[in-house]
Homo-oligomer: A and B are copies of this chain.
Amino acid sequence: MSKLDLSLYGILDPKRCLGRALDELADAAISGGCTLLQLRDKESSTREMLACAKSIKTAIRGRVPFLINDRVDVALACGADGVHIGQDDMPMAAARQLLGADATIGLSIKTRQDAMQFPREGLDYVCIGGVFETQSKDNPVSIGIDGWTELAALCRGRMSTPFPVGAIAGIDHKGASDLIRAGADGVALISAIFMQADVKASAMKFKKVIQEAQSS
């Protein structure tokens, strides 16, 4: 598996892709600079989701890590690199036990309570949000850059080693730049890449914005 790099994290969702094939979008996103991909699918049957996950896994050709949202069974069956779990998904320790020590496991953090209580053992990264308003998911509140910064400090303060912390929800170019300057290791994007006509070009533009913010 390639090294974990949260910087340009693309989340593939069959409901947020303008009806296009997710394996082709995955390839385009990697060509445009995505460093990590996740399949999130809360509606399809297990059979449909697994078939889709396998096609994405094939299209990725090992260039970036591939994670599955929530579904450890789908991750195991398609040979994904790990899972991204939310607060309502399988508990971290159970996911780690099923996936093994080498898998990548990331966790969503939405509140101060989440940030104070997440299990530190065996976790590879957290992704904090919703930072801004989004149409991709119901988020009760948007925490903004200040909220992200506060939660990121709480998360990192609980870890003994440098720890990757990403940001998610409603992130545009300015948001990405601001978050990277505020210390985010990366931004997770759905609509901003996959609801665009040219997925590769959209990823490339974010890549440029992120690289500029990282070197500033």
Q: Nearest-CB distance from A41 to chain B (Å)? A: 13
Of A5-13, A15-23, A68-76, A173-181, the one touching chain B = A68-76
Across the interface, which residues of B come within 8 angstroms of A71, CB to CB? 46, 73
Across the interface, which residues of B come within 8 angstroms of A77, CB to CB? 72, 90, 94, 97-98
Partner of A73, one of B45, B88, B98: B98
Q: B-facing mask of A136-163, CB < 8 A → 1, else 0?
A: 0000000000000000000000000000
The interface residues of chain A, by DSSP majority, are classed as: helix
Across the interface, which residues of B come within 8 angstroms of A98, CB to CB? 73, 76-77
- Copies of this chain present in the complex amount to 2
Would you list which residues of chain A between 86 and 117 have a CB under 8 Å from chain B? 87-91, 94, 97-98
Q: Across the interface, name the chain B residue whose C-beta is closest to A45.
A: B88
Q: B-facing mask of A30-62, CB < 8 A → 1, else 0?
A: 000000000000000111101000000000000
Range of interface residues on A (Cβ < 8 Å): 20 to 34
Partner of A47, one of B47, B72, B88, B97: B88
Contact assessment for B47 and A73 in the assembled complex, using a CB-CB cutoff below 8 Å: no
Across the interface, which residues of B come within 8 angstroms of A94, CB to CB? 50, 77
Q: Across the interface, name the chain B residue whose C-beta is closest to A54.
A: B94
Across the interface, which residues of B come within 8 angstroms of A47, CB to CB? 87-91
Contact assessment for A91 and B45 in the assembled complex, using a CB-CB cutoff below 8 Å: no
Query: What are 25 A-B interface contacts by the 8 Å CB criterion?
Result: A45-B88, A45-B89, A46-B70, A46-B71, A46-B88, A47-B87, A47-B88, A47-B89, A47-B90, A47-B91, A48-B88, A50-B90, A50-B91, A50-B94, A71-B73, A72-B73, A72-B76, A72-B77, A73-B74, A73-B90, A73-B98, A74-B90, A77-B90, A77-B94, A77-B97
Binding site for B on A (CB under 8 A): 45-48, 50, 70-74, 76-77, 87-91, 94, 97-98
**Which 3 pairs of residues, A with B, have the shortest CB-CB distance?**
A45-B88, A73-B73, A72-B73
